[in-house]
Amino acid sequence: MDDWEFRRLHRLMVLARRIDEDAIALQRQGVLPAYAPAKGQEAAQVGSAAALDPARDFAFPTYRELGVAVAMGVDLVGYLSTHLNIWHGGMYDSQASRLAPFNAVVGGPVTHAVGWAMGAKLDETGGAAITYFGDGASSQGDIHEAMNFAGVYRLPVVFFCQNNGWAISLPAARQVAGGSVAARASGYGIEGVRVDGNDVEAVFEATRAALDRARDGGGATVIEAMTYRLGPHSTSDDPGRYRSLEDEQAWTGRDPITRAARRLPEADLAEAEQYAAEVVERVREGLQALTPRPAEELFSFVYREPTAALLAQQRAWKESLDA
């Protein structure tokens, strides 16, 4: 990776961190009902997303992939608007941005990514999918089915696990049999790679290699990025009830942004912070300017053709307004 690319990734990580911090502040102020912080996972998210080809690849996130959205250039007001519960899956163009609406179902985006990858293979588009999940989600049945399906059909998909050591309050050692998510890949006949998830360059290189292999017909890869969630699981969580202060302090010393900053001059660090501050201000103002959407849009765009059940719900809703 050349110096320009490394500076770009550092700048994106700083932006992701500052947006994340501001989102927490907005939640505490009552602007956002809830939020899932990503502090400490910036290298895993930015490094992997930066390896994508936006002209042909597609990403399928959970509810915590702010760094992925930042790296892919997604409209951040539209992305964060999902936390305001005013639109289906966010007010950004997922088709144009190549980032699917984020998914709050544990393991949910993984099956979607495999379905997209099957379509890409049948259409011979040459693109690959990447899907994100945590170490806790790796124990979901859907993930195993998705990996098996991808292995059988040699699908162009990268399963990107951010192993932050905790499935909310349950340590990974108590819910990942064998101790490694990447090691499971061999059982499905696909590649498995474990990488330092706090090293943005290592993540970028591992993901780029997996995507290249997927596009070339080499099949799927499981990447297990070993990282740490420096903040709580969500804004309603208290990690002090299950994590030790010593453990948190040890991982703070391995902060991915601090590590990357050691390679850069002070001028680059100052420029990254200035850029982040300007974007944070614009995003905050944009979020606070949003107003509730018309209530009838609750029934819009759920299906291409409304189902009988959905139409019945819509009629019942309208009747309740007239009652």
Active site residues: 229, 233, 242
**Beta-bridge partner residues of 118:** none
Outline where DSSP puts E strands in the chain.
58-60, 129-134, 157-163, 166-167, 170-171, 191-196, 221-226
Name the nearest CA neighbour of 182 among 191, 173, 169: 191
CA dist 235 → 8, 12, 195 (Å): 29, 23, 28
Please state whether beta strands 157-163 and 129-134 pair in parallel, antiparallel, or not at all (unpaired). parallel
Is 259:201 a contact under the CB 8 Å cutoff? no
Question: 203 near 259, Cβ under 8 Å?
Answer: no
From the number of C-beta atoms within 10 Å of its C-beta (0-12, 13-18, 19+), residue 308 rates as: exposed
Residue 188 Cα distances to 144, 145, 147, 148, 182, angstroms:
9, 10, 7, 5, 11
Q: Which two tokens stand for residue 300?
A: 């819009």
DSSP 224-258: EEE----S-SSTT--GGGTS-HHHHHHHHTT-HHH
Q: How far apart are CA 80 and CA 85, in angstroms?
A: 10
Residue 60, token pair as written in the block = 């399928």
Q: 176 in helix, strand or coil?
A: coil
Q: How many CA atoms lie within 13 A of 87 on its CB side?
A: 19
